[in-house]
Amino acid sequence: MGSFAAGVEMTMVPGLLDGLKIDKLIAQDSLPQLCSAADRLRRMAHELPDTLGPAALDLLDDLLASAAEAEQSMALQRARIRYLESLSVTDELTTLLNRRGFEAELSRALARARRLPETGLLLLCDLNHFKAVNDSYGHQAGDAILRAVAQALKNNTRESDYVARVGGDEFAVIMTHTPNQESAFLADKLSTLINALQVPWQRTTLPVSASFGMAEYDRDSRPETLIFLADQNLYRNKKPRLIPAEA
């Protein structure tokens, strides 16, 4: 085949892509358009093998390889972005929501309550004498307690509820779609369960002690007020210290 014919065949390839430029799509991180261009290239490779000469087919092969590599690279980038976004709202130790994730879900829950309307419950959980555990047994023992409490809360709430670690030894549970008449029962159930936990540690077991506070929400509730009310209720229920305070 002469150089002129080969040149014509090679110019057919970008023309059939309707002006889409692979290199620009890669630079712009435009995954939908890139996938569309790659699909066109694949169809061309199957539909036109007899009408294109070796030079044009080589160009198609190069473009297909570039498109496939870019698709894979961009898919990995998307997955990494999703992972990093999850880290921004996830507590690394317990895999629960962190404070940022809790605040976001609380705002969504209250927005739903205003829109539908519906009622729900906010529970706060504060571990008692947790510092004494860290001081006596070490931070790894404290971490074991935190993970056990997190798992117990997660396992004993619904998929529609949100469980978060909002501080060092503080947890929160947003219970959506919860009638007011069930609030006290649910709070007492979780409190009884957590306070019955015994966490194995080396050659002993560590008992868990926690105080709970609750506040019901409805369409008129606001995040700051709701948290304040639950916090006040928690400290009214706060259990006495088991380790005497130093004078």
Query: Which pLDDT tens digit goes with each residue over 182-219?
Result: 999 999 999 999 999 999 999 999 999 999 999 999 99
Q: Which residues are catalytic?
A: 169
d(CA 216, CA 122): 6
Q: What is the pLDDT of residues 103-116, one digit of tens each?
A: 999 999 999 999 99
CA dist., res. 129 & res. 208, Å (int): 9
- pLDDT confidence bin for 150, thresholds 50/70/90: very high
Task: Give the mean model confidence (pLDDT) for residues 3-17.
Answer: 45
What pLDDT sits at residue 69? 76
Do 173 and 125 contact (CB within 8 A), yes or no?
Answer: yes
Q: Tell me the pLDDT band of 79, cut-offs 50, 70 and 90.
A: confident
CATH number of 99-237: 3.30.70.270
Phi-psi region of 55 (alpha: psi -120 to 50; beta: other; left: phi over 0): alpha
Average pLDDT over residues 157-165: 97
Q: What is the predicted pLDDT for the residue at 24?
A: 58
State how beta strands 162-165 and 170-175 pair.
antiparallel
